[in-house]
Amino acid sequence: AQKITQTQPGMFVQEKEAVTLDCTYDTSDPSYGLFWYKQPSSGEMIFLIYQGSYDQQNATEGRYSLNFQKARKSANLVISASQLGDSAMYFCAMRENPPGGADGLTFGKGTHLIIQP
């Protein structure tokens, strides 16, 4: 079973509109972290926002917010007032905490977001 599921392969959004990118995850670990990264065509992965499994409030970073619904295992990214420069691939990722220490991130397949003028 996939650990991170992003159901939207691509999205077209009008400039200045808000956009929600979906992410569901699967883990039995009580302690985990959820991340969103942006990957423009240049290839670099740019960190956007983080949500810890024990965080009581939804994370926010500028125009980015994370709609965290723990019972549904959902961590959707919301971008407010979209801009042309937001056009990119967006990846949801999870870090679990296995015995023995930190491990790498598990990524979803991504959503290709295109902002239209």
Partner 1 sequence: DTGVSQDPRHKITKRGQNVTFRCDPISEHNRLYWYRQTLGQGPEFLTYFQNEAQLEKSRLLSDRFSAERPKGSFSTLEIQRTEQGDSAMYLCASSPEGVEVEVAFFGQGTRLTVV
We find the least distance from the C-beta atom of residue 63 to partner 1, in angstroms, to be 18
Choose which of 4, 21, 23, 113 interacts with partner 1 (CB under 8 A).
4
Q: Are strands 111-116 and 10-14 parallel, antiparallel or unpaired?
A: parallel
Nearer to partner 1, 45 or 78 (CB): 45
CA distance 93 to 107: 4
Nearer to partner 1, 74 or 97 (CB): 97
Question: Could you give the 3-state DSSP secondary structure of residue 85?
Answer: helix
- Positions 32 through 51 that interact with partner 1 (CB under 8 A): 33, 35, 37, 42-47, 50
65 touches partner 1 (CB under 8 A): no
Choose which of 61, 103, 114, 116 interacts with partner 1 (CB under 8 A).
103
Q: What Cα–Cα distance (Å) separates residue 60 from each residue in 47, 50, 66?
A: 13, 9, 6
3: left (phi over 0), alpha (psi -120 to 50) or beta: alpha
What residue ranges bind partner 1 (CB under 8 A)? 4, 33, 35, 37, 42-47, 50, 52, 91, 93, 95, 100-110
